[in-house]
Structure 1
Amino acid sequence: MRVQRLFRQARIPLLCSALALGSAIFPGCAKSAGPDPDKPLVFRMGIVDGETSPVYAGARDIAENVERNTDGKIKIVVVTGGALGDERGSVELCSQGDLDIASAANSVLTNWIPEMSILDQAYLWETEEQAHAAVDGPVGELIEQAAEEKLGVHVIGYLESGFRDTFTTTPVTTPEEFAGIKIRTMQNPYHMAAFESFGAMPTAMAYNEVFTALQQGTIDAAENAVSNCLSNGYYEVTKDVVFTKHAFTYIPVMMSDKSWNMIPEDLRKPFEEGVREGCIAQRQYLKETNEEAIEELKKKGVTFHDIDTSVLKEKYQAAAKAKGFTFDPEWQAAVDEVLREHPAPSEE
């Protein structure tokens, strides 16, 4: 399979393990490989996903592209599985200058940049083009400015886990069938408000508790990227997946100011270009991973359902209005610009 080929390179994971162990004993930031100034700079990058994920595939490409673009003068070691801390912890380490490169979902960053909560709205984007245009354009500029001002980090790229769908233990084929469904969501007021507006009963719980909760009937459903239904084994108890596409998740990649300033001026542009190339490649990896997950899940007896998302969007927007959800005017203007410049096909 194509996705399997994406993960066949073992060079970075091996180096990753060695540095992860060294980092646990001697915490610190980027290092030259020795006293020789011609030795490469080595940066550590932390991700919470494992080596079979499209996020890792993108991080791997970032590392390879940066090394190639800088003629081996800068290397990035990708440390997987949250070995350098969970998302919030790694952001804090990066902000303090104790981790070179961190990654975290946009929802996590709202702890420091509350204006970013505008991205947590349900049905903010209808297409991947809109979502990408936002961070490649005016919304990305605001994120980068705020991250530097409030966290002292440089946002150098955007990985993603994309649109989130819903997997359930009982079929949901119409908006009305969400009534009474107990669903695990993130502790996010906008995601929870969305499922409440659909008639479901959202509950927040730790991600590692979801499988058992589904198995025991504590919850009836969960939501995430389709590929997670396969990789986490949820298909064993959730035999139905609903294409709700209710939210889009970004994973900004941040570099500490301390590490950023270690990059020589003449290498910054090729460094940034290498990161950008890796992030763009990851978008395709994610698409392929989800497509292959759908085919694999079908073989395992999972049924997929389309649903009228326009009805779900209307329900959420009515609930959002009733709850008085409002956002920073500058950020709202940036979102409106994206929607105006990149209308959904139905709006053209």
Structure 2
Amino acid sequence: MARQRAGKIKQVIALMLVSILLVFSATGCGKTSSAKKEEQIVFRMAIVDGEASPIYKGAKKMADEVLKKTNGRIKIVVVTGGALGDERGSVELCSQGDLDIASAANSVLTNWIPEMNILDQAYLWENEEQAHAAVDGPLGDLIEKAAYDKLNVHVIGYLESGFRDTFSKKPIKTMSDFKGIKIRTMQNQYHMAAFQSFGAMPTAMAYNEVFTALQQGTIDACENAVSNCLSNGYYEVTKNVTYSHHAFTYVPVMISDKAWKKIPKDLQDEFMEGCKEGYVAERQYLKEENDKAVTELKKKGVKFWNIDMDQLRKAYKQEAKEKNFTFDPKWQAAVDQTIKEHPTKGE
């Protein structure tokens, strides 16, 4: 309880400091008093990633485009590194109206919107086009309605960390190579079921414990976006990356209803247009960052392996059937519609 209270105090202090900085920023430290500056609306946006990440670049692009399209009338200040709380904490603050804009991985949002667990399935999408079409279309509509109904927030964009791959000490070239491998995953029954179906031994642990666990041999492998293998230094102990592409991670961005109501009606469309340009641009930033990471990792001695994903997909589907994974019919229909309208090449 003492640790929780200390965390809450730190969160409140961080919010107060950012609020003070925003006041000085908006007023020009008291040196100017133009009506235009007084009318500017300033929002805080919380992300847990650092400034070197594609997520930050996308968030910054959203802020830049919103400022541009609203002619400077709406400014978004991006606060990085979890300074305003972790993903779950920032969503709670946003829901309460104490934080303007929050972001969180889709898995985190299942705490309030259980129907979103459909996005946690392994091998849900076969390519980025399907993943993007889903949130840009019928599935996005369901997410946005549920977020408003259950959290009192408006979804204004979908940043992403994309497909997740496997980083391991020993080469994993075929599904049989997964046998007996201890791999760190999120506390996610669908991800864990996937690696169980491959023959691995999934272990859930905190993200900040992964590097040490790899060093000490507690685990043999982990999984994430390729760029994280470089940025987190995993390449020092995992010299192999397997393109398993087993899951896709979205990072929805939400604005509190309290903050949304501060946006004049004549600026709402421009605000949303700016947000969309930003999160769509992040998709390209992520691709560039992953490509760059592959080049750098190869220089550091990391080897990359392709694997028969159809075999992995088949194994997971069988495991899912045995575990009787089922999902909300409306959400399942939206997924099915997306796949039907955006088939893979050759279908």
With structure 1 as the length reference, what TM-score do the two structures score? 0.91
Query: Deviations 1:282-320 (Å, cap 9, x if unpaired)?
Result: 000000000000000000000000000000000000000
Q: Distance in 1 between matches of 2:14 and 2:238?
A: 41
Q: Distance in 2 between matches of 1:43 and 1:111?
A: 25
Are the counterparts in 2 of residues 27 and 98 from structure 1 also a CA contact under 8 Å? no
1:106 aligns with 2:106: yes
Paired residue secondary structure (2:39): coil
Partner of 1:218: 218
Q: Distance in 1 between matches of 2:246 and 2:100?
A: 33
1:45 aligns with 2:45: yes
- Segments of structure 1 that go 5 or more residues without pairing to the other structure are 1-19
The one of 26, 30, 33 aligned to 1:33: 26
1:27 offset after TM fit, Å?
6.0
Q: Distance in 1 between matches of 2:115 and 2:157?
A: 19
Query: Deviations 1:19-72 (Å, cap 9, x if unpaired)?
Result: x977334769x9793595753100000000000000000001001000000000
- Segments of structure 2 that go 5 or more residues without pairing to the other structure are 1-11, 28-32
Paired residue secondary structure (1:33): helix
1:307 aligns with 2:299: no
Q: Distance in 1 between matches of 2:105 and 2:73?
A: 29
Aligned-partner residue type, residue 41 of structure 1: I
Q: Distance in 2 between matches of 1:24 and 1:320?
A: 46
Aligned-partner residue type, residue 53 of structure 1: S
Q: Distance in 1 between matches of 2:113 and 2:266?
A: 31
Greater Cα shift, 30-39 or 266-275: 30-39
Aligned ranges 1:159-308 → 2 under 5 Å: 159-308=159-308
1:24 aligns with 2:16: yes
Q: Distance in 1 between matches of 2:18 and 2:46?
A: 16
Change (3 A) 1:212 1:22: closer
Aligned ranges 1:20-99 → 2 under 5 Å: 23-25=15-17, 33=26, 36=35, 38-99=38-99
Aligned-partner residue type, residue 247 of structure 1: A
Paired residue secondary structure (2:157): strand
1:147 aligns with 2:147: yes
1:344 offset after TM fit, Å?
1.2
- Percent identity, please: 69
1:84 offset after TM fit, Å?
0.5
Q: Distance in 1 between matches of 2:88 and 2:14?
A: 22
Aligned-partner residue type, residue 313 of structure 1: R
Are the counterparts in 1 of residues 122 and 190 from structure 2 also a CA contact under 8 Å? yes
Query: Deviations 1:206-238 (Å, cap 9, x if unpaired)?
Result: 000000000110000000000000000000000
Say what the alpha-carbon RMSD is for the aligned residues: 1.8
Aligned-partner residue type, residue 103 of structure 1: S
Query: Deviations 1:60-102 (Å, cap 9, x if unpaired)?
Result: 1001000000000000000000000000000000000000000
Q: Distance in 2 between matches of 1:300 and 1:258?
A: 48
Are the counterparts in 1 of residues 14 and 84 from structure 2 also a CA contact under 8 Å? no
Count residues in correspondence: 328
1:132 offset after TM fit, Å?
0.1
Q: Distance in 1 between matches of 2:126 and 2:165?
A: 13
Q: Distance in 2 between matches of 1:23 and 1:310?
A: 47
Partner of 2:328: 328
Q: Distance in 2 between matches of 1:23 and 1:69?
A: 27
With structure 2 as the length reference, what TM-score do the two structures score? 0.92
Q: Distance in 1 between matches of 2:57 and 2:177?
A: 37
Q: Distance in 2 between matches of 1:282 and 1:316?
A: 30
Paired residue secondary structure (1:251): strand
Aligned-partner residue type, residue 33 of structure 1: A
Partner of 1:5: none
Q: Distance in 1 between matches of 2:112 and 2:14?
A: 30
